[in-house]
Chain A
């Protein structure tokens, strides 16, 4: 098989059994790899209602056919399992260098089941696979773990995916970290690893991966590079990465200030990507083989945080530990992000539980006594920092927050209407009342509230003619309109699924749209040798979205769960946010349109038999 590692590795941590099987070509053709092929494993091998923390859960590391190639940003690793945080489909995705290195060991997937008797780490060097004692690593943070494994094995080029103390202590939104600062953050994949007593996975590969037509592939990548270099967003993405969004969202009132009570802020400039660039940026950083080095290495010479240096952050943790919690001190924000990375927890979830607690306090729903005596006033740095430590250690009030915001509100018995999640996963750092396709995308996402399942950037385009050309509806091009957004989200969900299944970056593939369906088909054909049309590629994306819907439906999800917190549905955007003021998410008409476009039942939100047959998924429900 061209452009694949060729093997699937299975590791049973309970008995230490290690098996290797060939990657099944018929499954690769149907689901590509990465998120798609991971979904298929979970669907086939997990019984319904599996407890995310039980040894019966499987943890699947997967890469796709474009990982490790010349594709700019063909670097993405997806880790999937039943989520211990949401109780439905869990997965997370990271760039960096782990994904390509895993591919070069000759493996497309590593499927890990069972539970080790004591902490271990998995060491994969090409065909050689070993479970090594990690008792000495337990308790170490993500940085210490990564560096200790590289040192123990004597090779700094070994790539490590590690969990930190947050996961070990049972934080349900703990992630898995690669290259020290790059999280597979969402849905608690780190918590699954910890429950398996698996401290890390280390990989080093010397395989050379054949492609069907290298000359053609290289030619297509050259064209792709030209489109990237010529893209209007190239310069700003290269300088700031996603941190460009602080200013962009401030301009439309879409920031998450004080838990989405303030969409714009005069203080936003102080915590912007531009401020980071001016004050702390040392150099640009990139993922494997990428031509947009959008990440940044920072050194923060602030006497309060001696030695503080880190890569990143992306917009999400940056806005989370500044505006969302009401803090405008940039160095403190970066310190918080660094703590999240070292403890190994999801910064979106953690910034939500802290800002939720602060709003509960503001509204008199939570007393100081209930919160360990902490002063939960907005922006209180001492409180924020203490809560990061307490959540990661599950101490005191932190223990109440450590299962995520939905669980926290249930345990407190108050504040459920303020808990900003969908299907148990916390919302990201943009106000979906100001970007309605993103609102719909968050509501229907198969892993709970999340923007990366769709990234429907098109609603920022203001290009009515293009809206008519693409979707037959001019309103699709405008962020505050809701008409046609069902079609937009369907389209971008399929693009996001193909990006995650091939293993490429959504900055280039979705947000910059450097390839259309036909272009993707050409590239995949050069890589794999399969004759593919653009429509067939799109259909793979659609198949993945439908299989995920089947998976979460099996866990009880219906249309009722495809929703957003009341803040976004009934509370208008406050005055002072320009055109966005007064806006709410008109979710119901968008949902109707979305299900219709999907060929799903509008009442239940479940795929209809005709659609499943069309996608070759009939057997999945038989």
Chain B
């Protein structure tokens, strides 16, 4: 999470991370939650401002920050809880795959998250 924030915000923290790890200390489980890069992206469909768009190459949903008004429709729409709002700017936070070189994957010591591109029906995806 801190690698994600360092990459996107140039600072250290977790509140603006686009990946989340649910840690259940009692059961010992660490559950990484990542964007599912949905074919039919509910976040994109829900945005009333047209601030979200599909990136061609990798299929990530990207944000035009100047258009986003922080209404949170994408947050409410995402069935996986993976769209959030930035704690300072209130702009949408959705995984952008770091342009194809995800900081989280690079830092993960255990190989729990990997990055791979594969072709899906109707175009490329991840």
Q: Which residues of chain A have a CB within 8 Å of any CB of chain B?
A: 3, 68-70, 97, 100, 104, 143, 146-147, 156-157, 179-181, 205-211, 214, 218, 225, 282-286, 288-293, 297, 299, 309, 311
Contacts and interface: CB of A to CB of B under 8 A. Distances in A.
B119 interface: no
Contacts of B87: 206, 208
A208 B5 contact: yes
A311 B28 contact: yes
Interface of B: 2-3, 5-6, 9-16, 22-28, 30, 87-88, 107, 109-110
A381 to B, nearest CB: 26
B6 A218 contact: yes
Contacts of B25: 146, 179-181, 311
Contacts of B15: 104, 205-208
B106 to A, nearest CB: 9
A211 B26 contact: no
Given A104-B15, A206-B15, A208-B87, A214 B10 contact: yes
A465 B110 CA distance: 36
A104 B11 CA distance: 11
A188 to B, nearest CB: 24
Contact of A70 (B12, B23, B30): B12
Nearest to A291: B109
A208 B88 contact: yes
A211 B9 CA distance: 11
A157 B1 CA distance: 13
- Interface pairs A-B: 4 shortest CB-CB: A297-B28, A206-B15, A208-B13, A208-B11
A70 B88 contact: no
A587 to B, nearest CB: 41
A503 to B, nearest CB: 12
B13 A104 contact: yes
10 contacts: A143-B26, A156-B22, A180-B25, A180-B26, A205-B15, A208-B5, A210-B10, A286-B109, A290-B109, A291-B107
Contact of B28 (A3, A68, A282): A282
Nearest to A182: B25
B57 to A, nearest CB: 25
B2 A208 contact: no
B9 A208 contact: yes
B20 to A, nearest CB: 9
Given A218-B6, A285-B28, A293 B14 contact: no
A209 B107 contact: no
Nearest to B3: A70
A291 B30 CA distance: 15
Contact of B12 (A69, A147, A181, A282): A69
A70 B2 contact: yes
B76 to A, nearest CB: 18
Contacts of A206: 13, 15, 87
Contacts of B109: 286, 290-293
Contacts of A286: 109-110
B28 A104 contact: no
Contacts of A299: 28
A289 B2 contact: yes
Contacts of A207: 13, 15
A69 B16 CA distance: 14
A288 B30 CA distance: 12
Given A70-B107, A214-B6, 20 more contacts: A97-B23, A104-B14, A104-B15, A146-B25, A156-B23, A156-B24, A180-B25, A208-B11, A208-B13, A210-B10, A211-B10, A211-B12, A214-B11, A283-B28, A285-B30, A286-B109, A291-B107, A291-B109, A293-B110, A309-B28
A582 B26 CA distance: 46
A297 B107 CA distance: 21
A147 to B, nearest CB: 6
A500 B87 CA distance: 30
B28 A211 contact: no
A311 B87 CA distance: 32
Nearest to B109: A291
Contacts of A292: 109
A115 B115 CA distance: 52
B91 to A, nearest CB: 14
Contacts of A181: 25
Nearest to B88: A208
Nearest to A286: B109
Contact of A208 (B3, B12, B27): B12
Contact of A211 (B11, B14, B22): B11
A180 B87 CA distance: 28
A293 B9 CA distance: 26
B12 A209 contact: yes
A442 B16 CA distance: 43
B7 to A, nearest CB: 8
B75 to A, nearest CB: 15
A69 B2 contact: yes
A228 to B, nearest CB: 9
A214 B5 CA distance: 11
A283 B29 CA distance: 9
